[in-house]
Structure formats: C-alpha cells, structure tokens
C-alpha cells in the first residue's frame, strides 16, 4: 500500500469536531450581514458541462488541491482560478514532481481562465469597464433515433416508513392512496442539458457567450441559444445574469444553472437537468474567510436561491409554484466535505397553504402548500489510495420535520487508476424512492419545464453507472460509460411491469486548433418493457458532434 503514497504540501484546513459543523447553519445569516465578509473579484460562472470541473477534480486527485468544495456548483471563474493557483503552488512539492498530465491540465486551465488567473492576486488592477464579445462558444449537431421515457403516472403511497428504514413512523395512508409523478426523460442518452430537449432526427444548436465587467465588483453574462429542431427554428436566452461581489458574498440576478450535490451523473436535489431558473441568488463563490469560522468549523460555502418555476398543466391542475433552494457545504478537514441540500416548491395557483408556523419552516404537513426534497451528503478523500474519493447523498421527500421517503446517490472515484493519472474510473449508484419527486398537491411533481430538477432518471428507480476515462493529454480524452437501470420495481399499478434499461456511450474530446475543441459522442440503449408496458421494447441511439471555443 505504501507505493500509493506521495507527499504533498497541503493548504492548512484544521480538523474540528463534527458537532461544530452543525453550528454553522445558524451563523449563516450573521455571516452574510457581517461587515467582515469581503466582496472580492466579481466573475461569471463556469458552465456546468465545461471541462474545467473535470480538470479541477483531476488536480485534486493528484493531491494538489485541498480547499475545493465539490458539492456546490457552478464555480465562479474566480473560484476556479483560486483552486488553479493553489494547485500550481503545490506542483513542486509532490515527491518526484507532479506528473506531466497535471502540468498539462494546469496550462490548459490558465488558457481557459486568463482574466481571473491574472487578476486574482491584483484585484485593484481590474479596468473600470471591459467586455469580451466571444468569451466562449459551443456549436452542436445532434442526431436522435428513438423516444424518451414518460414519467407521468399514479404511484401507490401506503406510508408507514421509518427513519433509515427502521420502524413505522410516517403516518399510514388509506388503502388506494396514490400520488402523481410527472415529467419526461427529455432526450434519450443526453441528460443534464439545462432543459434543452432534442427531437428525433437532426438538431442544430449554437450557444455563444458574451461577458461584461464593471470595475472589480460587477460582472455580467449573456448566452443566447439558437436551436433548429426538425425544421423549426427557435432563439431564446439560455443564460443571462448580473453578479455583484465575490469571495464570501455575491448577489446574482438573472437566468443560470445550479447543481447541489456530490453526484456526477445526477444528484438528488438540484441538477442542470431541468431548464435554467430565473433567480435571485445569494452565495459565497469562495469559502468564507471569517477567521473564527475557519478555526472552529472549517471551510464553509453557502447558496440561497429564490425563483419561480414555469407554469404547467391547465384548469384545476394549473400550477406555477415559487421555488426556494438552500445549500450549505462545510469542509472541517482537508479530506472531508459535508453538506445540506434543500429544494422547495411553495404555493402558486391551485395550491392553498395550511398548517402552522412549523409547516412553513419544516414542510411536510398535509395541505401545507409545499413540496420539498432535502437531504445530507458527505465526500471523503483517501490519500493512501491515490487520493480516491467516496461520496454519498441522502435525500427524501417532505414528511414533517424529517424526510422519511429516502433516496440515495453513492459513488467511488479513482482519479489515478494508474500511477501517471492518465486512467481514471468512476462508479455511481442511484436509488430513487417510488414517490421521490412525486406529490399530490403538484401534479407534475418536482419538475420544471416537464423535466425533473433532481436526478434525471426520476423516482422508483435503481441505477448503476460506470465510466472509464483515458487521457492522451488534457484536451485529448477518451471515455466509455455503461448504465444499467430499473424503473417501476415498487411503485407500479397493474398491468404495469418493471422496466429494464441497458445503455453504453463513448466520448472522445480532442483539440482542433488553438482554443477550438471537438467532441464526438455516440450512445445506444435497449429498454425492455418501455414505459412499464409488458413486452414493449425501445432501442434508442444518439450521435453528437460538438465544436467549442473556450467553453
């Protein structure tokens, strides 16, 4: 086992008792309002499908980064640059020197984050006004041959669940009680696409990014999207926002994506699967710098999101709830990360709020006008095993004070399957409770734009996911994935039968010229008992060609 070890200079993150972590929650409001919280360099966010996240996680897997918090995304470009500079400072402290791949990744990150890497240590040098008419761009051709799965159905809800499956604490429901699940898979074999659904046949898409900066305190981004599907052209705003501040306190207003959780393929509470939210967001792009907090709790990041979801249904089923999301991440030790996640739909047309003050705070009471998904997570890095990582998310649907209806995401990431780091492996498991993302007050459940805001595969699901990646270089990567999923095992109503799915995908990222890159992606899946219909079989294929510029 000693051959797995190497020595790295680690940025100090003092170990603290776990109980101190939970003391951080009541302090958040005080911290946000404290004059000691510095507003730093404003910068726009890194797109959630950018290779920047893959690169930073890989550098952490080389043991070069200790202060990264993976459960709260997107990263601001300033935060990504901060982590890059941390890794640069540790390159020569690795016994024998950092591998060439780590240095190659660092060089590429400097090319993708030039403004922030330059200004982070000299913020006052930021010009009074600046803009970049082509900060990034992505063009896609997608060919889809197949049909997405439909999640709309009634699901039995007997109640009677316990805590972690122990006991029968949740109130039992009358016989025949059901809840409504809603939504769609979207595009087969292409999840987490910010709500963009491609049709069967040929699809073309273009997303250019334009960035603006006003002194060091204000940044803005506009990302229009042009989409051609089956002969129909559509132009919309995919992202567009203004940001004020940075470091431990940032205010953002506009449209953007969010990801709360440790999962790679999907997380339990909030992902980029559904359309981007028009939101007001208060967050800390970088860990809070209040000395007492760092010394007694550790590194802390938070996000508070306020939004309203798209309208769905009609007549008595018309809904357009308000949406609130909360994220708190704490790193009490260099190798340990803990987190709390909450997403809540509240009120709107067709929903009457009931219950007392405790229902407003905790949710879960009958007819309280809310639908919540909440949970806890942890991530632990194992330096003795080549900095391999294990992570786990627990989440549940609302049941007063405690989410009894439990779902899970768990995973293992081995960043250096071989000593040079050019091969890595990830395994991830998802279990979605049969009534996860379903609700009797909101007929479409925990969705926005007919897509689930949490894990793309929805509730009543068990799924196994594996991904192997080989790095020829930082920009030249080949990956292969295998997915096995089951749906409708517990929550079906006869004549429905369980659905079984097997899928394989490959991805080849490669440089083209200068800052231009390409992606080739092909996927194939076989679905038995499609949409829970006995004997129905569906084969889906997807081909993607993507050209990107600093995206």
Reported in sequence order, the residue ranges of 257-335 that DSSP labels E, i.e. its strands, are: 259-260, 277-283, 299-308, 322-333
- Average the pLDDT over 257-266 and give the result: 98
Burial class (CB in 10 A: 0-12, 13-18, 19+), 178: middle
Residue 41 pLDDT exceeds 80: yes
State the DSSP H helix or E strand holding residue 292, giving kind and residue range, or none if neither.
Answer: helix 291-296
Residue 23 near residue 297 (C-beta atoms within 8 A): yes
Cα angle: 142, vertex 146, 151; to 5 degrees: 110
State residue 446's pLDDT score: 96
Quote the CA–CA distance of 69 and 381 in Å, as a whole number.
12
List of residues 6+ apart from 332 with CB closer than 8 A: 13, 15, 16, 17, 18, 20, 21, 297, 298, 338
pLDDT for the residue numbered 230: 80
Alpha-carbon torsion 353, 359, 361, 364, what sign? negative
Residue 23 pLDDT greater than 80, yes or no: no
The larger pLDDT score, comparing residue 16 to residue 287, is at 287
pLDDT band at residue 463 under the 50/70/90 scheme = very high
Asked whether 60 and 90 are in contact (CB, 8 A), the reply is no
Nearest to 279 by CA among 235, 325, 236, 312: 325
Per-residue confidence band for 400, with pLDDT thresholds at 50, 70 and 90: low
Q: Is 225 helix (H, G, I), strand (E, B) or coil?
A: strand
The tens digit of pLDDT for each residue in 165-190 reads 666 777 777 777 888 999 999 999 99
Looking up tokens 């440089």 gives: 511
pTM: 0.91
Could you give the count of Cα atoms lying within 13 Å of 63 in the half-sphere of its Cβ?
24
Closest of 103, 179, 150 to residue 452, by C-alpha: 150
Distance CA(149)–CA(191), nearest Å, equals 12
Tell me the DSSP string of 89-109.
HHGGGSTT---HHHHHHHHHH
Would you say residue 500 has pLDDT above 80? yes
Instruction: Tell me: pLDDT of 516 over 80.
Output: yes
Mean pLDDT along residues 90-98: 79
Helices 100-112 and 77-90: angle between axes, nearest 10 degrees: 150
Asked whether residue 306 carries a pLDDT value surpassing 60, the answer given is: yes
Whether the Cβ atoms of residue 223 and residue 208 lie closer than 8 Å to each other: yes
Say which residue, 370 or 138, is predicted with more confidence.
Answer: 138
CA distance 343 to 323: 7
- With cut-offs at 50, 70 and 90, classify the pLDDT of residue 4: very low
Number of domains in the chain: 1
| Confidence band, pLDDT 50/70/90 cuts, at residue 15 | very low
pLDDT 10s digits, 194-237: 999 999 999 999 999 999 999 999 999 999 999 998 888 999 99
Boundaries of domain holding 121: 2-549
- pLDDT for residue 22: 37
Q: What is the pLDDT of residues 105-152, one digit of tens each?
A: 999 999 999 999 999 989 989 999 999 999 999 999 999 999 999 999
Which has the higher per-residue pLDDT, 319 or 369? 319
**SS3 category, 278:** strand
Mean pLDDT of 37-62: 91
Distances (CA, A) of 153 to 150, 471, 532: 8, 43, 10
Instruction: Report the percentage of the chain scoring pLDDT > 90.
Output: 78
Tokens read off for 452: 């689930």
CATH number of 159's domain: 2.40.160.130
The answer on pLDDT for 39 being more than 80 is no
Q: Which residue in 188, 277, 162 sits closest to 541, CA to CA?
A: 188
Q: Is the pLDDT of residue 376 over 60?
A: yes
Q: Which residue, 197, 194, 186, is CA-closest to 229?
A: 197
């Amino acid at each position: 086992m000693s051959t797995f070890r190497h020595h790295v200079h680690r940025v100090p993150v003092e170990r603290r008792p776990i109980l101190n972590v939970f003391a951080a929650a009541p302090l958040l409001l005080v911290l946000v309002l404290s004059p000691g919280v510095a507003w730093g360099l404003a910068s726009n966010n890194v797109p959630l499908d950018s290779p920047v996240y893959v690169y930073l996680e890989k550098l952490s897997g080389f043991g070069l980064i200790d202060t990264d918090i993976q459960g709260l995304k997107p990263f601001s470009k300033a935060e990504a640059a901060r982590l890059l500079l941390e890794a640069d400072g540790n390159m020569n402290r690795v016994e024998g020197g950092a591998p060439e791949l780590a240095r190659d990744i660092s060089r590429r990150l400097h090319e993708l984050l030039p403004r922030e890497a330059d200004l982070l240590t000299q913020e006052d040098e930021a010009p009074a006004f600046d803009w970049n008419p082509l900060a990034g761009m992505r063009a896609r051709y997608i060919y889809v041959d197949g049909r997405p799965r439909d999640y709309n159905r009634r699901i039995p809800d007997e109640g009677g669940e316990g805590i972690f499956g122990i006991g029968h604490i949740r109130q039992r429901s009358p016989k025949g009680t059901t809840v409504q699940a809603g939504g769609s898979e979207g595009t087969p074999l292409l999840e987490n696409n910010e709500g963009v659904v491609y049709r069967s046949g040929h699809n073309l898409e273009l997303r250019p990014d334009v960035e603006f900066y006003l002194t060091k305190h204000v940044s803005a981004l506009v990302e229009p999207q042009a989409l051609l599907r089956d002969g129909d052209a559509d132009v919309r705003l995919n992202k567009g926002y203004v940001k004020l501040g940075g470091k431990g306190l940032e205010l953002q207003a506009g449209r953007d994506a969010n990801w709360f959780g440790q999962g790679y393929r999907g997380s339990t509470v909030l992902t980029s699967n559904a359309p981007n939210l028009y939101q007001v967001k208060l967050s800390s792009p970088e860990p809070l710098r209040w000395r007492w907090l760092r010394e007694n709790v550790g590194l802390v990041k938070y996000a508070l999101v306020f939004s309203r979801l798209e309208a769905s249904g009609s007549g008595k089923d018309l809904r357009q709830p308000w949406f609130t999301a909360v994220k708190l991440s704490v790193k009490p030790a260099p190798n340990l990360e803990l987190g709390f996640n909450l997403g809540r739909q509240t009120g709107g047309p067709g929903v009457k709020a009931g219950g007392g003050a405790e229902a407003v705070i905790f949710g879960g009471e009958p007819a309280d006008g809310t639908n919540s998904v909440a949970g806890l997570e942890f991530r632990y890095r194992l330096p003795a095993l080549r900095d391999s990582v294990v992570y786990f998310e627990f989440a549940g649907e609302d049941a007063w004070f405690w989410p009894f209806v439990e779902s899970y995401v768990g995973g293992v990431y081995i960043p250096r399957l071989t000593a040079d780091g050019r091969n890595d492996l990830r395994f991830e498991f998802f279990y979605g409770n049969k009534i996860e993302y379903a609700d009797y007050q909101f007929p479409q459940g925990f969705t926005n734009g007919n897509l689930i805001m949490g894990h793309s595969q929805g509730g009543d699901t068990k799924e196994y996911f594996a991904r192997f990646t080989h790095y020829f270089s930082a920009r030249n990567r080949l990956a292969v994935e295998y997915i096995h999923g089951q749906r409708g095992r517990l929550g079906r109503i006869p004549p429905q039968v369980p659905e079984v799915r097997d899928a394989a995908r490959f991805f080849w990222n490669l440089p083209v010229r200068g800052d231009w890159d390409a992606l080739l992606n092909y996927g194939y899946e076989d679905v038995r008992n499609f949409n829970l219909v006995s004997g129905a079989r569906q084969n889906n294929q997807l081909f993607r060609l993507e050209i990107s510029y600093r995206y």
